[in-house]
Structure 1
């Protein structure tokens, strides 16, 4: 597991292959096991394939005040919108619920990567825009955190290793 996490990378360019709904569901079941104070499960995922990605393309254009739909959602065959669904709780603040939703998304991206899929987590200022809320049919207690773009890993892989993390720069000992 350590090696899988250490070798994870983002794939901004992927092929048209993608995991099936059944493969995705199996990984979501595992990703949903992240630490979750009070087991609120304050998240949901929206699976977008085919023409469903066009709704997102139009929403990005509307939020950006562009006339033509964005081509970004068409860069991967599968997009997974990550949504935080805030649950009323006197013990678990909103920020902690967003952390759970982010943890699910990151864990899912690790699982997809380990299964051989190319993954890229895309965000942007427009994730919290009205056109995005409408396109994703979000409820009042929901916010869009971004999308996992998923597809096949291209034949020609990136050359060279990623820049390593220097752990001592990020660890404080008290």
Structure 2
């Protein structure tokens, strides 16, 4: 698959099953991530992979992070969340404070690394979906994952084999999102 095809046709695959990407495929996923735009060559990202028994362990961490009065249904849902794919890649932004590269640019670079993984997955026929939700911002989850104070979880990338054929790419009009500047007042 060529680069433009991957860029123009990537879609999320929310229903995933085994097998997970193999070692060679993973190598390509992470090599693509490491090519993200990176002002200052800070490489403001790192990745954790979660699979096998660790998926259930992550589910237990999610369940423990819920409020004490969480319903049994909420606890069951939290435990099941990581089990939606055979492999999770957790994308962590490592922001260097007080650097000439603003924190926002460092966060965007980490987001681009996550997007690189999604594109490389699509190009290899691997199903993938980017999720966040409350567990991406929970301090107890961050501590359980070993995140440092300058780190923030920005993505749970679920990866595996799509359970069904991917949906068609929704068509949008470029003109709905692009304008020339300066804007001309339409009343004139």
TM-score normalised by length of structure 2? 0.84
Corresponding pairs, count: 172
* Between 132-141 and 84-93, the greater mean CA deviation after superposition: 84-93
- Output the CA distance in 2 between the equivalents of 1:152 and 1:35: 28
Deviation at 1:93, TM superposition (A): 1.3
SS at match of 1:108: helix
Give 1:124's aligned residue.
133
* 1:61-95 deviations in Å (ceiling 9; x for gaps): 22333444520101100000010011245311111
Instruction: Report whether the alignment pairs 1:152 with 2:152.
Output: no
- Output the CA distance in 1 between the equivalents of 2:44 and 2:176: 32
Give 1:10's aligned residue.
12
- Output the CA distance in 2 between the equivalents of 1:25 and 1:162: 27
- From the superposition, tell whether residues 125 and 81 of structure 1 become closer, same or farther in structure 2 (CA, over 3 Å): same
Match of 2:177 among 167, 170, 174: 170
Match of 1:52 among 54, 60, 71: 54
* 1:11-30 deviations in Å (ceiling 9; x for gaps): 11012111123421232122
Residues 13-92 of structure 1: matches in 2 within 5 Å? 13-65=15-67, 66=70, 67-68=75-76, 69-92=78-101
- Output the CA distance in 1 between the equivalents of 2:82 and 2:155: 12
- Output the CA distance in 1 between the equivalents of 2:171 and 2:110: 26
* Aligned 8 A contact 2:6 2:123 in 1: yes
SS at match of 1:19: coil
* Aligned 8 A contact 1:55 1:135 in 2: no
- Output the CA distance in 2 between the equivalents of 1:32 and 1:7: 22
- From the superposition, tell whether residues 158 and 88 of structure 1 become closer, same or farther in structure 2 (CA, over 3 Å): closer
- Output the CA distance in 2 between the equivalents of 1:91 and 1:135: 31
